[in-house]
Structure 1
Amino acid sequence: MDHVDADKLNTDLRYRFDYVAKFLNFTKTDIQLLNTVAPKLVPLVPTAVDAIYDKLFSFDVTKGVFAKHKVNFQGATADPPDSLNLTAERIAALKESLDKYLKKVLTQEEWDDGFLGYLSHLGKVHANKADSKNIDVNYIHMNATLGLSEHILIDAILNHDLGLDAKTKSDAVLAVNKFFWIQNDLFTMHYVPH
């Protein structure tokens, strides 16, 4: 039986990642699989980002988040939420951030402490615990967005002609699934009290 220091899980990001990764059997092979499918998936990322933002803007409760918070953008906020549309400059900047994030996840070869810090910082920012303190997104919306993002990437692997053999396709789906559970955990560590 492996011993896990419960307190260290909440204070040491690398330790936490190693534990969750081991629990999910997320290994260097999974990272390599993400890298392997990256050349096929990266061109589809802008379409995925559009689909995610279309969904976010299809509910008043999620669209309202963008209207109320500056979300690392210096322009004016919008009120009411209906006055903010998908072509606004700030939404374009946010879409670009999501695009970079998804591409980085697929192409990152070394999951070093810097990369884990980046993944964790995303949770910190959205939970309004970062230095900027200008975003406060309820966890339910982050969870739904992560789930949708996972679904879109898995759908792309399964239903687009990416030239992958059946085993690579299956293994890539599992790698994407494991990654999103890891990312979800790195969000919850900033939302859920320990």
Structure 2
Amino acid sequence: MTEQPSSALWRFVEEDDLNGLTLVVDTPQGTHLRRIPPALPLPFYVDHGAGAEAAVHTAAATWGMPDFVFQQAAHAAKGSGRRELGDRLLLAGGRGAVVQVKARTIKPKPDDQEAAWIQKVAAKAMSQAKGTVRQLRMVPADMVNGRGRKLRVDGNAYEWIAVFLLDHPRVPDHAVATWQPVGMPAIALTRRD
């Protein structure tokens, strides 16, 4: 259990079917339960990487956060090319999360190879998140939220966290994502999380 600022206590409960997860929130007004279904498979006709990013955005906006989920209005100039500022940003008050989505687009290999691949993309995701924050601190950018409203984001106005979000059909049990420190708190999640 983790204590939340609202003095509510929350925890996840695994259900019998292995795919079920229930969020249990204990508040002064009573206990509230929310069933968290597994992530739906992506449609077969979409590019898996872009589809995973879109699914993350849609899920975050659908589950009550369209005002806080942002994507870049236009890619930032970077040398002779363009740079994407995070796959998604979550912004609320003075806190910001840079979400980097990585998807396994081929049939998984043996567990040791999958764990190595996850390690590689986790490091890449964290490097990208660090670059996004660095860029936003140097040059503010226009971001668009889930309701289509534009916000000018100055990276200096936020306390940041990096989020590596993995879309993978079968994460090996022993796989643990690690990375070099990126100068901000960081977390790894699966798309289901």
Normalized per residue, the structure richer in strand is 2
TM-score by length of 2: 0.31
Q: Report the TM-score when normalising by structure 1.
A: 0.31
